[in-house]
């Protein structure tokens, strides 16, 4: 079966993640892109929100993770975000990209992005 995709792109939240003490003290903005892979046919057939993912509630849960306890690596943050998405039994797979546009790199750059893809086992 081919899965459908629901994507939430450009979700912004402030967090204190990073290896450097200044990142933990000052915090910075993180940007999230999340794609959920699931079967949306039951929701569409019945026009029923309870048969799909409420992306507004998901956005709030993801922001709480970013604003929550700090981690050193954005890889760890991405995994925590993926875990939140997979808590919904309808989600079969998730792809999470964490952007760190203000990463402490002393050279010109546009963005640092870690992308992970996880499946329900």
pLDDT digits (tens, 9 = 90+) for 25-44: 999 999 999 999 999 999 99
Examine the residue annotation and report whether 100 is marked as an active-site residue of this protein. Answer: yes
DSSP string over 73-92: -HHHHHHHHHHHHHTSTT--
Which tens digits make up the pLDDT trace of 55-74?
A: 999 999 999 999 999 999 99
Q: Which of 72, 100, 111, 115 is catalytic?
A: 100
pTM comes to: 0.96
Closest CA to 78 of 101, 57, 98, 58: 98
As a whole number of angstroms, the longest Cα–Cα distance in the chain is 53
Q: How far is CA 117 from CA 28, 34, 92, in A?
A: 24, 10, 11
What is the average pLDDT value for the chain, to the nearest integer?
97
How large a percentage of the chain has pLDDT more than 70? 100
Closest CA to 52 of 90, 78, 23: 90
Domains and CATH numbers, the chain: 4-119 (3.30.1130.10)
């Amino acid at each position: 079966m081919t899965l459908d995709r629901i994507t939430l792109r450009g979700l912004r939240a402030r967090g204190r993640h990073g290896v450097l003490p200044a990142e933990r003290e000052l915090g910075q903005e993180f940007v999230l892109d999340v794609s959920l892979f699931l079967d949306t046919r039951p929701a569409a057939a019945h026009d029923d929100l309870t048969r799909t993912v409420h992306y507004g509630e998901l956005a709030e849960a993801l922001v709480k993770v970013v604003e929550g306890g700090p981690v050193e690596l954005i890889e760890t943050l991405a995994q925590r975000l993926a875990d939140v998405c997979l808590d919904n039994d309808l989600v079969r797979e998730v792809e999470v990209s964490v952007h760190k546009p203000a990463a402490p790199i002393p050279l010109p750059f546009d963005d640092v992005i870690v992308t992970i893809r996880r499946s329900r086992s």
